[in-house]
Chain A
């Protein structure tokens, strides 16, 4: 053996080179993953952020009693007979009157064409407003109406004068009129709370589609999942980890739990359909059924980390508690469970986050549906039809109107925000309360 320790021999150089190569593979892998993430975020944010802003028309509307309440009695039943078609005509007339008053030349466009710039949803919103407060009839109110999807798309770059010429749903004249209204201050892009608060809308009104029912439905399902899977999961893990004898039967249970965690989620949907709906007679499309199906799916995913957390509590703590005379129940509930709680909560939150993003099991129990009415408050509301966030994304991606592309991406942003909040909470809990021994 010759040579200095300070000069590397051939084998050392080869080993060092191998390490350098391995590090560079790792860096390349991370860069690839980051690039994929950045590309995903750019495409989603680019497509989806416009959904949070909406083109709106603001103009005065005279709620003419002769049109809305012919008998002039303000009788709620008579008022309810007036359909949205009447309100739609009222809005078109009000808008063209406003244009005339402001001296805006609508060119060859008729009242009906001008009305077609206003979303059909606005007629329904005006009707709801009047039915909610019949005293408004006879007065003039300033009304904020949604512009149709094509006008909105024009200001978001989706529609241009060239495409409008080929489009039977709009025309360059209408876009030109929209530009004039923008100059006059009637039309403006505003923040759109309706995207979060309004329910879904049909293919004819992409501008009015919102996530209200989906967010509520997801929240209801998460309540069911949390209330059922946390106590059942924790109780099952405590028994298996602290009390159960080790024999072939508990081994079998263990294998099954691990197995169930890997079962594709659609299988739980099939189970939910045959058991909860066909056998137990629960209603279709209801969050309670969706929640119960997700409970089944989440349970093994909660039991596994919970058992790991219980297992991580050192035996010395149990021994010490038992040594000073605590019963086994007291040992578990006074010492082991509190110490394992951060791990359990982390596992639960991650399980919930997974359940929040599931679509497949909801397909068979009728939640992948068009639901327009809000479910009522829980507990009754759990049995009313509702949608869910991932379902709403799926539904919107299959719609024909190009306006829904932006909506679907916007909904993905909302879902991602919820997931980030949940996962961040899980990490924060772990950081703050986790004990190492």
Chain B
């Protein structure tokens, strides 16, 4: 009877399931959605050469990736965590508690964060000060902190277009937001004097806590709808921008470079973002991208070291490599990274 046959095969499947401890032969990678396109490009090219299977790459965000990475050592844990921000001491402690004691930190290059608006709109030449005055929560006015009520970009800086302020910025779960907070909002906050006022009015006890409190307040954008957090991907920011052509959105450089037909990029402090200006440091809003490698898996999971060496090879991460074509800003010190990967150098304590 067909039903009993089906039952028998189902039982066989369950039996097969319970004894499935077969060796894993492909790498498992997870983490930052900013690093994801680079990691898939490398994984694809790595698998194509035929020596090893193509690694499986998941997104999910930098923090989530590092958390999975720190779950332990063994075949059922991931081998590499992609991260668009540096690993934290909390992560390292969690890793150590789970037995992940040998971590290699590999800097694969830099990523620029750009402001872009609709291609048919006016040009924007921004500075961190302009951005903070436009979307900061509280601004300094005549030596006192007041709620931000700026309506148009021209109210902030007469050189900017007479256009209503509407900014789409990455949500707090994104690694990009951290960089935006520190390099744009905090920089603008300090330049306008709001930071000092925040420190002066802070109710915290000691100096350190006051500074921390002031920084947190600097990172808080206004909540009256002029600044909108986007929790999705850059594709969502792009779609929102298409619906609101007068808005300004925050993107990664590589995303912008793949959509130059729809977006117009803003200069920051007079510098046009590009692979060159970010590599030479003249464009201020950039950050390093990392992959974290579980050294204890080298020699256990086939191809791990080869994958990492391939990732940082000149063909991939170098100035003329495939990743630079896609928008990764090559690391000028790539040769050091290559040597460190070759020597399997573990990361030192965070400084």
Residues of A bordering B, CB below 8 Å: 80, 83-85, 124, 127, 131, 159, 163-164, 166-169, 201-205, 224, 227-228, 230-232, 234-235, 277-278, 280-285, 288, 292, 366, 368-373, 379, 383, 385, 397-402
Binary flags per residue of B14-53, CB closer than 8 Å to A gives 1, else 0: 1011101110101010100100110111011101111101
The reply to whether the CB of B260 lies closer than 8 angstroms to some CB of chain A is: yes
Across the two chains, which residue of chain A brings its CB closest to B251?
Answer: A400
Across the two chains, which residue of chain B brings its CB closest to A79?
Answer: B50
User: Which chain B residues lie closer than 8 Å to A202 at the CB level?
Assistant: 37, 40-41, 43-44
Not counting A166-B261, A227-B10, A370-B40, a sample of 7 additional A-B residue pairs whose C-beta atoms are within 8 angstroms of each other reads A169-B258, A284-B78, A285-B58, A368-B60, A369-B58, A372-B43, A400-B234
Complex alpha-carbon distance, A370 and B39, angstroms: 9
User: Are A227 and B56 within 8 A (Cβ)?
Assistant: no
User: Which chain B residues lie closer than 8 Å to A84 at the CB level?
Assistant: 45, 48-49
User: Which chain B residues lie closer than 8 Å to A201 at the CB level?
Assistant: 44
**Contact pick for A369, options B7, B49, B56, CB 8 Å:** B56
**Contact pick for B59, options A164, A235, A283, A398, CB 8 Å:** A398
Interface residues contributed by chain B, number (CB under 8 Å): 58
User: Which chain B residues lie closer than 8 Å to A159 at the CB level?
Assistant: 261
User: Are A400 and B13 within 8 A (Cβ)?
Assistant: no
User: Are B40 and A285 within 8 A (Cβ)?
Assistant: no
User: Which chain B residues lie closer than 8 Å to A372 at the CB level?
Assistant: 43-44, 47, 54
User: Are A283 and B76 within 8 A (Cβ)?
Assistant: yes
Q: Give 6 closest A-B pairs by Cβ, nearest first.
A: A163-B261, A372-B54, A203-B37, A202-B40, A370-B57, A369-B58
User: Are A280 and B44 within 8 A (Cβ)?
Assistant: no
**Contact pick for B259, options A80, A379, A400, CB 8 Å:** A400
User: Are B37 and A231 within 8 A (Cβ)?
Assistant: no
User: Which chain A residues lie closer than 8 Å to B76 at the CB level?
Assistant: 277-278, 281-284
**Contact pick for A168, options B28, B51, B255, B260, CB 8 Å:** B260
**Contact pick for A203, options B40, B58, B75, CB 8 Å:** B40
Q: A127-B48, A203-B41, A369-B56 are in contact. Are A284 and B28 (CB under 8 A)?
A: yes
User: Are B235 and A397 within 8 A (Cβ)?
Assistant: yes
Across the two chains, which residue of chain B brings its CB closest to A341?
Answer: B3
User: Are B47 and A230 within 8 A (Cβ)?
Assistant: no
Across the two chains, which residue of chain A brings its CB closest to B14?
Answer: A228
| Nearest CB of chain B from residue A169's CB, rounded to whole Å | 7
Identify the interface centre among A166, A283, A385, A400: most chain B CB within 10 Å of its CB: A400
User: Are A288 and B20 within 8 A (Cβ)?
Assistant: yes
User: Are B43 and A204 within 8 A (Cβ)?
Assistant: no
The reply to whether the CB of B6 lies closer than 8 angstroms to some CB of chain A is: yes
| Nearest CB of chain B from residue A411's CB, rounded to whole Å | 15
Complex alpha-carbon distance, A235 and B17, angstroms: 21
User: Which chain B residues lie closer than 8 Å to A166 at the CB level?
Assistant: 119, 260-261
User: Are A131 and B18 within 8 A (Cβ)?
Assistant: no
Complex alpha-carbon distance, A423 and B22, angstroms: 37
User: Are B58 and A368 within 8 A (Cβ)?
Assistant: yes
The reply to whether the CB of B307 lies closer than 8 angstroms to some CB of chain A is: no
- Can you name 30 A-B pairs with beta carbons within 8 Å? A84-B48, A164-B261, A166-B261, A169-B258, A202-B43, A203-B326, A227-B9, A227-B10, A231-B6, A277-B76, A280-B18, A281-B21, A282-B17, A283-B20, A283-B22, A284-B76, A284-B78, A285-B56, A370-B39, A371-B54, A371-B56, A372-B44, A372-B47, A372-B54, A373-B54, A398-B33, A399-B37, A400-B259, A402-B261, A402-B262
Complex alpha-carbon distance, A102 and B258, angstroms: 33
Complex alpha-carbon distance, A373 and B21, angstroms: 20
User: Are B233 and A398 within 8 A (Cβ)?
Assistant: yes
| Nearest CB of chain B from residue A2's CB, rounded to whole Å | 65
The reply to whether the CB of B84 lies closer than 8 angstroms to some CB of chain A is: no
User: Which chain A residues lie closer than 8 Å to B234 at the CB level?
Assistant: 400
User: Which chain A residues lie closer than 8 Å to B13 at the CB level?
Assistant: 224, 227-228, 379
User: Are A400 and B16 within 8 A (Cβ)?
Assistant: no
Complex alpha-carbon distance, A202 and B55, angstroms: 12
The reply to whether the CB of B315 lies closer than 8 angstroms to some CB of chain A is: yes
User: Which chain A residues lie closer than 8 Å to B151 at the CB level?
Assistant: none
User: Are A373 and B47 within 8 A (Cβ)?
Assistant: yes
The reply to whether the CB of B123 lies closer than 8 angstroms to some CB of chain A is: no
Across the two chains, which residue of chain B brings its CB closest to A227?
Answer: B10
User: Are B261 and A204 within 8 A (Cβ)?
Assistant: no
Across the two chains, which residue of chain B brings its CB closest to A396?
Answer: B235
Complex alpha-carbon distance, A202 and B45, angstroms: 9
